Amino acid sequence: MNHVLAPAASASLIRSEVAGLPRYDPGAGADEVAALSGVRSVIKLSNNESPFGVSPAVAEAVRRGLADGVSRYPDPTGKRLIEAIGKALDVSGERVVLGNGSENILELLCRAVLDPGDLVVTQAPGFSLHEIFPRVMGARVEKVPVTVEFGFDATAWREALAAGPKLVFLANPCNPTGAMLGAGQLRRVVADIPESSLLVLDEAYGEFARPNPEYPDGLETLRELDRPWIVLRTFSKAYGLAGFRVGYGVASDAALIQALDRVRTPYNVNKPAQDAAVAALGDHTHLADTVRRTGLEIARVTDRLRAAGLRVVPSSTNFLFIDTGCRSDRVAQELHRAGIIVKAWREPGYENYIRASLSTPEENDVFVRRLAEICAKGIS
Ligand SMILES: Cc1ncc(COP(=O)(O)O)c(C=O)c1O
């Protein structure tokens, strides 16, 4: 069969907004790096996953769920998980939406809210899907830079918000810098958001920041606000369930959730994922242990990298944003050759930075040693 004409014909069908989009960069694959390095067990520090595993209750719940069979579709309403979230957070289930990862909810929000030409405001450097999903809808995205010290630039945000965005994506803590907004900073930026905007507060890494008394609980801060908002959280990070794909949003009102329900695929969260998340939510001890161990490693690895002469942004998360002093794609290549996967940052102005997630203390030590060697040697 002759397929020669097919690619050109397909290309002509693609919407211009989609044709011009960057692809989401998940980082190098473990198999690819294993082949390149000859290392069988690669050290994967590229996706901010948990090295501390899941609660034993998760494995048990999934096993039980599988024993019941998987020939039926999952509960499209996610009732049991929504009830568990509602109870844990003291909110009505009508204000909770589930997603195939919280990224799914970012996409649903864009689908439900954005018309071509609408303005979206978010931060730079930032999480790429805060830009990609709005652009799929033909929206314009303005990215407000952080300060030179990687802090939140309240003045620049006030100016951007004055232009009346339809959607505002604010991550707290921020990916990739790991920095967090304190309670006062969050209250001030919220006050600057126009009444006609929808605030999306992305707390994917919130569990790691919560031990810091300065870190504001988004739900508490927004509870009394008389305009639309949604707080997004995920089971992918501190709960260690990235492979199951489950996240959730708690919104200001049930009408917003109903709109998201209209644009989502009906069975967007599969049954093992729902079972796993209910079990994970109930194991406070495992969560506390993961958060404590992560905090200790973040402090220790930050100190070690600084002792090696590297600039590291103070992090309230499970990853570090590191100035390598040379082109980070080349540094990442060198690390890949050593069997270590990190993410080279590509946003303009940050091309010398890598983002590295934490792993176990042993793997972190290997990473620190190799990175220090590479940076000391320099890359021409
Ligand atoms: C800031 C931020 N938001 C949302 C997500 C999406 O996470 P998930 O879809 O796994 O819930 C991520 C993933 O890395 C993230 O960094």
* pLDDT tens-digit map of 162-199: 999 999 999 999 999 999 999 999 999 999 999 999 99
Domain end call among 256, 283, 310 = 283
Among left, alpha and beta (phi > 0; psi -120 to 50; other), residue 90 is: left
Domain shared by 99 and 177, yes or no: yes
* CA 24 vs CA 47, 246, 330: distances in Å: 12, 19, 20
Query: For residue 74, is the peptide bond before it cis, meaning its omega torsion is within 30 degrees of 0?
Result: no
Contact 271, 66 (CB under 8 A): no
Burial of 40 (0-12, 13-18, 19+ CB in 10 A): exposed
Instruction: Clarify whether residues 303 and 270 are in a common domain.
Output: no
DSSP string, 132-153: HHHHHTT-EEEEEEPPTTS---
CB atoms within 10 A of CB 12: 8
Maximum separation of any 2 CA atoms in the chain, in Å: 65
Cβ of 315 less than 6 Å from ligand 1 = no
pLDDT band at 380 (very low <50, low <70, confident <90, very high): low
Q: How many domains does the chain have?
A: 2
Coil, strand, or helix at residue 239?
Answer: coil
Q: For the chain, what is the mean pLDDT?
A: 95
Predicted local confidence at residue 69, as pLDDT: 86
Q: Are residues 291 and 171 in the same domain?
A: no
Q: In this model, does residue 2 exceed pLDDT 70?
A: no
Q: What mean pLDDT do residues 82-89 have? A: 98
Pocket test for ligand 1, best of 236, 239, 269, 355 (most atoms within 8 A of CB): 236
Cβ of 248 less than 6 Å from ligand 1 = no
Q: What's the pLDDT score for residue 4?
A: 67
* Residues 221 and 185: beta-carbon distance below 8 Å: no
* Centre of ligand 1 from the C-alpha of residue 123, in Å: 15
Q: Is the CB of 102 under 6 A from ligand 1?
A: yes
Are residues 154 and 269 both part of a single domain? yes
| pLDDT of res. 10 | 86
Instruction: Please state the pTM of the whole predicted model.
Output: 0.96
Q: Is residue 9 part of a domain?
A: no
Task: Let me know whether 279 and 291 are in one domain.
Answer: no
Average pLDDT over residues 336-350: 95
CA–chain centroid gap for 78, Å, is 22
The span from the CA of 320 to the CA of 21, in Å, is 27
Q: Which segments of 4-116 does DSSP mark as H helices, in order?
A: 6-13, 16-19, 30-37, 56-67, 79-89, 102-113
Which residue, of 267, 283, 299, is where some domain finishes? 283
Crossing angle for the helix pair 328-337 and 30-37, to the nearest 10 degrees: 70
- CATH classification of the domain holding 120: 3.40.640.10
CA 57 to chain centre: 24
Q: What is the CATH number of the domain that holds 317?
A: 3.90.1150.10
Domain residue limits at 345:
26-48+285-377
Q: List own/partner pairs for 37-43 with CB under 8 A and 24 or more apart.
A: 37/336, 37/337, 37/338, 37/339, 38/339, 39/338, 39/339, 41/339, 42/339, 42/340, 42/341, 43/339, 43/340, 43/341, 43/359, 43/363, 43/366, 43/367
Residue 98 pLDDT: 98
Closest C-alpha residue for ligand 1 atom 16: 175
